[in-house]
Structure 1
Amino acid sequence: MSKTSEDAPRFVERGAKIMVWISGSALILMSFVITAETLVRKFAGFSLGGVHEFSSYLFAICSAWAFGWALMQGAHIRISVLREKCSPRAKAVLDVLAWAAFLLVFVAISYRAIELAWESYVTNARSPTPSRTQLYIPQALWALGLASAVIIALHLGIQAVRERSTRVFAPADEVEAELEHLK
């Protein structure tokens, strides 16, 4: 195996981890800003302005940036009751179908998000708010998160083929993971 093919999985995982840490940090920071905005409005009688708009952009961006990490960790919501009643072979089939559905949906959404960001850039679209935000900026960051989820899903597909195993698609067993640290 070449050096680049060995580095690719680490690069993808490291990138996803960085994106999820940035997202979490940004959401924590924004919670403090929203709290400050609420307190200032309540007790000082004025608004910081734009907090609602920017927190909306940030929430969309952070959600998209976290999708890939959640996929790598097997943390997406599944219908576990149905899955647990299946044979190991049926579970594997359901896991592959869930992965394929995720990939198909995210390819479509990512394509449209990239197209939207590009259209906003070309037309110099701005938000109809006092801040007049250039919309391509939050849209491009949102599209980046969606596209990274597609790349991670493809990475997991390649990993499954290499390992000849569908375990990379299986959801995480949260109860088992919680009990593992007690051993």
Structure 2
Amino acid sequence: MYDQLHAFATRLSRYAAWLGGAMMLFAALMVSADVLARRLFGLTMGGSDEISGYLFAIATSLAFPYALLTRSNVRIDAAYALLHPHVRAALDLLAIICMALFSALVTWRAVLAVGETWNSGARAITPLQTPLIFPQSLWLTGWIALCLCALLVLWGVAAALLRGDLRRASELAGAMTQEEEIAAETGTITIAERKEA
């Protein structure tokens, strides 16, 4: 059951990351068009910087769960590979606990911020006067997804360690090995995708 849930979360988070990438591309095109129009014709679209800021925040939060589930997040692992497997497993458990606590804290604060925005009907103090509930709600969605994915990975790592399965715990939360990084960069199948298939 866990593997299917992990595969489903990975697939869903991949779609969210693609959506975030599309948002970033749209923001880049919009800002480029605005700069060119201003330079060539003296016209401005107005609000492109504001909208691109919203899109950047939303796209970033949507990418976090995918980075976590595919272990693409940055880990300082200079000495990690030299450690005993039990020490690495303990560090992986500590890392995912910290990630779960951090994401829960940020998500809780984000929920409070969005609730305050909803209650006050806050708008951006810009010419667009964007109702802030829309970009903030989409941004919050990414944080909620990260929080749930961190709990999912924590569950998997804890269960694997209770069974004494250090390899499985490392597959879920350990730093990527050089071979795994090369496979990810060259486009060969990743561990997460192999389990998903």
Q: TM-score, normalised by structure 1?
A: 0.89
The answer to whether the aligner puts 1:34 opposite 2:34 as a matched pair is: no
Which position in structure 1 is the counterpart of 2:50? 53
Counterpart pick for 2:59 among 58, 62, 75: 62
Once the two structures are TM-superposed, the CA of residue 122 in structure 1 deviates from its matched residue by 1.2
The 1:143–1:179 alpha-carbon spacing in structure 2 relative to 1, beyond 3 Å, is closer
Q: Distance in 2 between matches of 1:176 and 1:23?
A: 24
Residue 19 of structure 2 is aligned to residue 22 of structure 1: yes
* Deviation, structure 1 residue 46: 1.8
Residue type of the alignment partner of 2:177: D
Uncovered stretches (5+) of structure 1, i.e. residues with no partner: none
Aligned to 2:192: none
Partner of 2:76: 79
Secondary structure (helix, strand or coil) at the match of 1:78 reads coil
Once the two structures are TM-superposed, the CA of residue 175 in structure 1 deviates from its matched residue by 5.2
Q: Following the alignment from structure 1 to structure 2, what is the Cα–Cα distance between the partners of residues 64 and 83?
A: 27
Counterpart contact for 2:34–2:48, Cα < 8 Å: yes
The alpha-carbon deviation at position 64 of structure 1 amounts to 0.6
**Equivalence for 1:177:** 181
- Residue equivalent to 2:90: 93
Q: Share of identical aligned residues, percent? A: 27
Q: TM-score, normalised by structure 2?
A: 0.83
Task: Report what 2:165 is aligned to.
Answer: none
Cα distance change of structure 1 residues 119 and 169 upon mapping to structure 2, 3 Å threshold: same
Larger mean CA deviation between 122-131 and 38-47 belongs to 38-47
Structure 1, 145-154 or 27-36: larger mean CA deviation: 27-36
Cα-to-partner distance string for 1:39-92 (whole Å, 9 max, x where unaligned): 111111121110000111111111011000000111111111131232211111
Superposition deviation, residue 128 in structure 1:
0.3
Structure 1 vs Structure 2 CA RMSD: 2.1
Gaps of 5+ in 2: 162-167, 189-197
Which moved further from structure 2: 85-94 or 51-60? 85-94
Structure 1 residues 81 and 96: alpha-carbon distance in aligned structure 2, compared to 1, 3 A threshold: same
What is the number of residues matched between the two proteins?
180
Are 1:113 and 2:110 counterparts? Answer: yes
CA contact (8 A) 2:114 2:137 kept: yes
Find 1:144's aligned residue among 135, 141, 144.
141
